[in-house]
């Protein structure tokens, strides 16, 4: 979906980039020509180092940025350090997310709060700081990673669905705020993707989902990453406030 060099010279930050979809996005941005990809992670340093190696192999400088997106102070500090070091921040991908699944009658208050703080609050914290830099530069691409669950819902995922649905509303509102400064804000909503999270599901659950996906297969992290890179390109500057579904037709 992207041509080599579309992001030449640009600096990108990907949250939750140590593995899975986030790692694939970081590598795809490097392959699209980004000069530097900042890899955010919270605790898995070994996985982050491996992701950094993959980014470097794809041709970009990789910088590790360990911070918790749910912590506004740490997030602001890390993004400001990126801008001070590199002089710019062109692409922000809010991918960091967690789950704490349970039926609502069993869902702990702390788990509800933690999921919202990371999946929705984290995007708010990152965008609040990054927006200042992008608005001054009169250029930027923000891509938020939502989920098909935002539109469909799913039993046992009230917190996750609420956070992702909120993220899509946040995306559209921020797109309106930033449009006059040539900053686009979009979201990508993956369906069931072949990552560790989905691999951990019972085989019977996986089989049931495959039966209702029109393309009859799981998606790949690379397919989600291609969609993110498409929205991050300069050539996609007339697309904003959009949620791009990457779900094999599961939700139309």
Which positions are annotated as active-site residues? 160
Whether the CB-CB separation of 51 and 23 falls below 8 Å is answered with yes
Provide the b/e sequence for 185-195 (b: ≥16 CB within 10 Å). Answer: bbbbbbbbbbb
Question: Between the CA of residue 67 and those of 18, 42, 64, 134, 146, what are the distances in Å?
Answer: 12, 5, 10, 21, 20
Q: Alpha helices, DSSP H only, in 104-143? A: 109-119, 121-137
Q: Is 155 exposed, middle or buried (0-12, 13-18, 19+ CB in 10 A)?
A: exposed
Whether the CB-CB separation of 127 and 72 falls below 8 Å is answered with no
What count of other Cβ atoms lies within 10 Å of the Cβ of residue 72? 17
- Non-local (6+) Cβ contacts of 214 within 8 A are 248, 249, 250
CA distance 179 to 7: 20
∠ CA 71-225-138, rounded to 5°: 65
- Non-local (6+) Cβ contacts of 172 within 8 A are 185, 241
């Amino acid at each position: 979906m992207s041509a080599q060099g579309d992001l030449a010279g640009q600096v990108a930050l990907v949250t939750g980039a140590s593995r899975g979809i986030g790692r694939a996005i970081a590598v795809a941005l490097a392959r699209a020509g980004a000069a530097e990809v900042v890899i955010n992670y919270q605790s898995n340093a070994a996985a982050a180092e491996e992701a950094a190696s993959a980014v470097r192999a794809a041709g970009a400088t990789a910088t590790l940025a360990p911070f918790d997106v749910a912590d506004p102070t740490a997030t602001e500090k890390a993004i400001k350090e990126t801008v001070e070091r590199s002089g710019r921040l062109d692409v922000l991908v809010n991918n960091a997310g967690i789950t704490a699944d349970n039926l609502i009658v069993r869902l702990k208050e702390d788990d509800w709060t933690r999921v919202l703080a990371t999946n929705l609050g984290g995007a708010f914290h990152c965008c609040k700081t990054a927006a200042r830099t992008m608005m001054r530069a009169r250029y930027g691409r923000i891509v938020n990673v939502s989920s098909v669950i935002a539109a469909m819902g799913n039993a046992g995922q009230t917190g996750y669905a609420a956070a992702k649905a909120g993220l899509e509303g946040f995306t559209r509102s921020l797109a309106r705020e930033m449009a006059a400064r040539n900053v686009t804000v979009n979201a990508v909503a993956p369906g069931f993707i072949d990552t560790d999270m989905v691999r951990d599901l019972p085989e019977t659950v996986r089989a049931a989902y495959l039966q209702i996906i029109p393309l009859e297969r799981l998606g790949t992290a690379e397919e989600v990453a291609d969609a993110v890179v498409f929205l991050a390109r300069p050539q996609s500057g007339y697309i904003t406030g959009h949620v791009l579904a990457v779900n094999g037709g599961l939700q139309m």
